[in-house]
Every structure is written in structure tokens, then in C-alpha cells.
Structure 1
Amino acid sequence: MDDLTTLPDLPPHTELIDGSLVFVSPQRRFHARMIDVLVRGVGATLPHTMDVEREMTVLLDRRNAPEPDVLVVRADSTADLDMEQTRFMASDVLLAVEVVSPDSEARARHTKPRKYAAAGIPNFWLVEMAGADSHPVVRVYELDPVSGTHAVTGIHHGQLKVSVPFTIDIDVSKEALRNR
């Protein structure tokens, strides 16, 4: 696992999934802009006990180190502001967000949510374009302690308003992506 961060000439945003390296292809504008909107929106109401990060590796186990597009972590996991930090432990992550891209669809919808749940990450969001007009939609999931899986708690079009893991109210409309 430590080798993942020390391999020379490894492409940016390389993930370890089931023991295999996954190389990320170029992303759509939707992906980059949605990450910007979410980081800014989550950061606007973030409690001092939490930090928001983008595209950082999360160590789930020896064979899995995905890189969520956005994550909310416990502030004490970044307390020393180590600018050399490259990863977080799953136990530090309160929210993992995946913005679906054409090449990541199966991983974002199926593989990663299962792995995040198995690692005990309590909240997960799946963001993608939907409908004939390709508007953003955010599916919000919370870890069910009985089943050990993420259960959907809401599907949001235009406005993302939740109270878990803290109060968040973000404009996720197409207009928000244009005006980021």
C-alpha cells in the first residue's frame, strides 16, 4: 500500500481497486466544475471539527485506495497542516463523493460505494448528469449499521439540502456549474 504513493512516474489520480492500479482518463468539464461547486458549497458551512478535501487517496484496506472526488474528513486528521500528506485513513472520512464520468461509471456506482460502506465511511454521495437536459443530480446515501450498506436518503435536483453529516445547502443546478 505504501508503494502506491512512492512509485515513480505514476500518473495523477491513480487508484488502487482490488489490488489493481486504475488509471483515470481525462475528465469532462461537468466533472471539474461539479467538484468546484461541491468543495465551495460544503466548505461554506463546514464545522470547525471537519475539513473538505478534493481528490485525495483514502486507504480502505491493503488492496483498496480509491480517490474520491470530494471528501469531508475529521479536522484532527489534518491538524498539523502537513502539506506533504497524500492520503487519509477510512476512519478519518465522514463523507466520500464520486462525480460520475464515462470511464468511471461502474466503479462510481457499484464498486466504490460497496467498498466505502465496508470500510465504515458513514456518508456517500453519487453525482451525475441526468435527463434529456443533462442536469446535475446528487444521490445521497447514509451507512445503515444493520445491513452494513449505504441506503439512499435523498435524490436532489437543483438544490442539495441535507442535515447529515452537517447542515449543507448547495445550489447544484446547471446555472451553478456555469457560474462557479
Structure 2
Amino acid sequence: MSVDPEIPEREPSLHWPIPPAGGWTADDLDRLPNLPPHTELIDGSLVFVSPQTLFHSRAVDFFNWQIQSLVPAGLEVVREFTIDIDRHNRPEPDVVVVDEEVVGGPELTRFPASSVRLAIEVVSPESVARDRETKPLKYARAEIPHFWRVENKEGRAVVYVYELDPATGAYVATGIFHDRLKVSVPFPIDLDLTRITPRRGTA
């Protein structure tokens, strides 16, 4: 008597959301079910974040906590939170400094771009083009006055600092910082960048 072989159950197939005509909108980001954490909306398309490196995690933690200790009254520092630029763009900077008045209750999911004073992006291998090209253009068009890009150069952090030129509506590079970042705007900030990736055997 033969026994029919057991047929393994198929794993449930993934069902990715199908974009509507014209692309997704900023409001859709709150309504779509089962989106991965930190999903962004860029030009009406959903952007999923890849697993982050240890450098990325350390750098985001560093800027979040260090700037919180320096931020003046009337401003707040928030990590990994989306901002509304327009109907089809809702990116998520790694760290933002925003006007305190827009930081509401626990159900808040986004800030208006007009409230952002500084946006910081820590570059990952999969986000190089977005962080160097796409996002700075959108942040400038949204009139976010300050933008920093943080890159990993041979295990050490390098910060590229930009300020919005109101005459052209574009960012102008105001400095490249390797071991120490010291600026006077948007408020006085002095940071030891070597603390992001300490050498082995050091604190």
C-alpha cells in the first residue's frame, strides 16, 4: 500500500501595495497596512529602508543625543520622523530639529517641512544617491534652512554642512568637518566627531 507524499504548505505570498494612478500621497503613508518601519515617500513611490550598519546606528544616536543637549528653548530634536514636503514627498531624515510648537501628542506621525530648522541624513550604502542628490534638492525647495550629510570615510565620520541661499533657493556648502564640528547656526554646536566611532580600547 502506497502512501501519498505530504505536500508542504506554501508560504503565504507577499502582497506588495499597488500604487494608484499618479502615485502614493503623503496621507497614504499613514493608511497603508503592514508597511515596514521607516518607509518613506519620494516622488509618489514608497522607499523601504534596508538593514542599517553599525556606523549608521551610532551616528544617528550621537547626533540625536548630542544636539538634544545643546538645542535652545523653542526647538526640539527628533530622530527618524517623517516630514511633509508636498503631496508626493514625505521623507524621513535621520535627525531633525523642529519648532517645539509642532511636537504634539503620541499619535503624531509627521512634521510640516516649514517647521524644520535642520535636517540630518546619515548615508548608508543603499541611500547614497538619495542622500547626496534627491533629498537635498527637496529639502532646499521646502526651504529647510540647514542640511547636514554624514558619511563614513574609512570608519570615521565626515560631516558636510549646507545652508540655504535665499536668493537662489539652493544649498551652499559651508564646511566639511572631520574630527570636530563647530558651527554657529542654526545655533551654537560644537561636537567631537571622533566619539561616533571610538577606537578599540577607548571609551
Where does residue 93 of structure 1 map in the other structure?
A: 116
How far the C-alpha of 1:22 sits from its partner, in A, is 0.4
Which residue of structure 2 lines up, in the alignment, with residue 154 of structure 1? 175
* Alignment check: 8 A CA contact 2:156 2:197 kept: no
Distance in 2 between residues matched to 1:103 and 1:22, nearest whole Å: 11
1:165 maps to which residue?
A: 186
Decide whether the 8 Å contact of 2:40 with 2:47 is kept in 1.
Answer: yes
Q: Please give the alpha-carbon distance, in whole angstroms, between the structure 1 residues aligned to 2:62 and 2:181.
A: 11
- The superposition leaves residues 41-68 of structure 1 with CA deviations (integer Å, 9 ceiling, x where unpaired) of 1111111110000000001001100000
Q: Distance in 1 between matches of 2:180 and 2:107?
A: 35
The corresponding residue for 2:132 is: 109
Q: TM-score, normalised by structure 1?
A: 0.94
Assess if the C-alpha contact under 8 Å between 1:41 and 1:169 holds in 2: no
What is the CA deviation profile of residues 109-146 of structure 1, one whole-angstrom value per residue up to 9, with x for unaligned ones? 0000000000110000000012xx33110001000011
CA distance in 2, matches of 1:34, 1:172: 9
1:54 aligns to 2:94 (yes or no): no
Matches within 5 A, 1:1-180: 1-78=26-103, 81-130=104-153, 133-173=154-194, 175-178=195-198
How many residues are treated as equivalent by the alignment?
Answer: 175
**Structure with the higher fraction of residues in strand conformation:** 1
Larger radius of gyration, structure 1 or 2?
A: 2
- Structure 1: unaligned runs, 5 residues or longer: none
Ranked by relative contact order (alpha carbons within 8 Å, sequence separation 6 or more), the top structure is 1
1:66-106 deviations in Å (ceiling 9; x for gaps):
0000000001111xx41111100000100000000000000
Amino acid of the structure 2 residue aligned with 1:121:
I
- Is the CA contact 1:37–1:177 (under 8 Å) kept in the aligned structure 2? no
The AA in structure 2 aligned to 1:177 is T
User: Does the CA contact (< 8 Å) of 1:15 and 1:66 recur in 2?
Assistant: yes
Alignment root-mean-square deviation, CA: 1.3
Quote the Cα distance in structure 1 between the aligned partners of 2:197 and 2:77. 19
Q: Deviations over 1:150-179 (max 9, x none)?
A: 101111111111111000111111x44347
Return the offset for 1:40: 1.2
Identity of aligned residues (%): 55
Identify unmatched segments of 5+ residues in structure 2: 1-25
1:3 CA drift (Å)? 1.6
User: Retained in 1: the 8 A contact 2:179–2:192?
Assistant: yes
